Amino acid sequence: MPEGDTVFRTCARLHEALAGRVLRTAELRWPGLSTATLAGSEVTEVVPRGKHILIRLDSGWTLHSHLKMEGQWRIERTPPDGHHHDHRRGATAHPADARAVLVTDAWTAIGLRLGRLDLVRTTDEHTLVGHLGPDILDPAFEEAVAVANLAASGTAIGAALLDQRNLAGIGTLWASESLFLERTNPWSSDLPPGQLSRVVARARRLMTAALPHAVQASTGVRRDGENTYVHARSGRPCRRCGTTVRVAPIGPPTRERTMFYRPACQGGLAPTDDGAPVAPLGASPGSRGRRPRERR
């Protein structure tokens, strides 16, 4: 699932392309939204809220989307006639997996494989994102509130970081990397406020540093396979101690998420890890190194 830094970059691109421009046409391919009329509205801004995207219009409406696992927004130049043509079929064409198509005179934004799409009054945005904790990439990020939320969660720190009600924007990559770099066991709870603050501050620094780059990296190296310390490196040697990186589920039943960690560096084996040998991620179709599907 795209994390807060990826969503932040997506919003920046959408804002640059759409803000201040009037929608020539708008097609929403979503149950209950297909008859919505947005043409003639001007996009005032596109802003992120954790992993959520808010496209605000001067008509007082907000188009909200969430990328979930596979979604993305693609931006293309709008052809002079305003139509994207499939020359093989002689017809106007947008991908079959397009869920939203927003056309201005200059640019067209296409929402592909979106996990969620809503249209609400801008004054009602809180019904969609009001449950979220402080956005870790917000310039006015309230670290003290986020730390207090984590402390009050009563659950393992790894799961608490992934709960968007505590703080918004962190996913499995930045949770795994931040906890590793702070030598914190993801399954530990009742951590002192100082340690919680260090983990949150580390995640914020890593994610802020990642904003200008398409490839996420915590190591300073953006080459594939070298850009992280533990995330997606199960079965491979730890960069710190040389022993094996492991992967295990974390979180309550039916809502487990994936956590990569190194027992020798982070206080021991996870309670959800049986200790069996771990093959390198993707080594074989049935290997234990395969990453479970992430859930929101």
2 is catalytic: yes
Q: Which residues contact 115 (CB under 8 A, 6 or more apart)?
A: 66, 67, 68, 69, 70, 71
Q: How far apart are the first and last CA of the chain?
A: 8
68 is catalytic: no
Question: Within its chain, how far is the Cα of 124 from the centroid?
Answer: 23
Q: Which of 48, 49, 51, 198 is catalytic?
A: 51
Asked if 259 contacts 158 with a C-beta cutoff of 8 angstroms, the reply is: yes
Element spanning 207, H or E:
helix 193-210
Q: Which of 233, 257, 262, 263 is catalytic?
A: 257
The identity of residue 25, as a single letter, is T
| Residue 179: how many other CB atoms lie within 10 Å | 26
Bridge partners of 244, per DSSP, are 237
Distance separating alpha carbons of residues 230 and 237, to the nearest angstrom:
9
Distance separating alpha carbons of residues 183 and 179, to the nearest angstrom:
6
51 is catalytic: yes
Element spanning 209, H or E:
helix 193-210
Q: In the Cβ-directed half-sphere of 175, how many Cα atoms lie within 13 Å? A: 28
Q: Which of 2, 48, 134, 186 is catalytic?
A: 2
Backbone dihedral angles phi then psi of residue 87, each to the nearest 5 degrees: -65, -20
Catalytic residue set: 2-3, 51, 257
